[in-house]
Structure 1
């Protein structure tokens, strides 16, 4: 983008304000921080993959995406050693949700243990995460946040 010495643009008609870098940052936020992603075998968000990625110094993120099926929401908040994850899965879709640094027996959905939560199926348990399959709906997961080394011990 060509600028004059005073910082203004030569001509708005000759400059693109839709720069690739803005889109790349947006994609990184949606896909990695908030964790909203597609599944290659089921394109168009028919099946949604959600993998929030909290990072050091980052304790909150929330993103919404308007898919052709409806609004997808992924939000998480890490506060005082507790992780809260909110997801919304639109009608006629399903999702795989990975909860980082989670132990199955410490995760609740709307205050209910995972095995009793409606629309939630435990798909896999790993050393440092719990993977769930979700039907369409709105979910609020809560669990004690532990570092990866604490989860493994």
Structure 2
């Protein structure tokens, strides 16, 4: 598994592991992701470390499993397994929509995709719902993660 740091001012930076000095020295906004996503691993020319040793593109890195995020001037927040699972199960289009607008709503079918077929009646720390028919919004660590990504992508 390769780790990557995404922050304003550079595209994607390869890390030497969880103890890489770049992680604590990056003031934020920043995120740490890995490359174990099926999207990133199967993309032709994804830049997956290999002979060239180059990191993946931003698009491919965004498909990676999130490990941590940091708002500007904030502390690093570890992303839990549930939020990370939901992120990698989303379509690239849904990920981008949430990066563009962390308050975007999802319909039941999008929610089921993001939660790997989870019941539309479940609520976790990473989702809130309202209305009839239900619409969902990201919450908790998942919302914090997409908010930080939005900051990075607009700088």
**TM-score (ref. length: structure 2):** 0.26
**TM-score (ref. length: structure 1):** 0.27
Q: Which has the larger radius of gyration?
A: 1
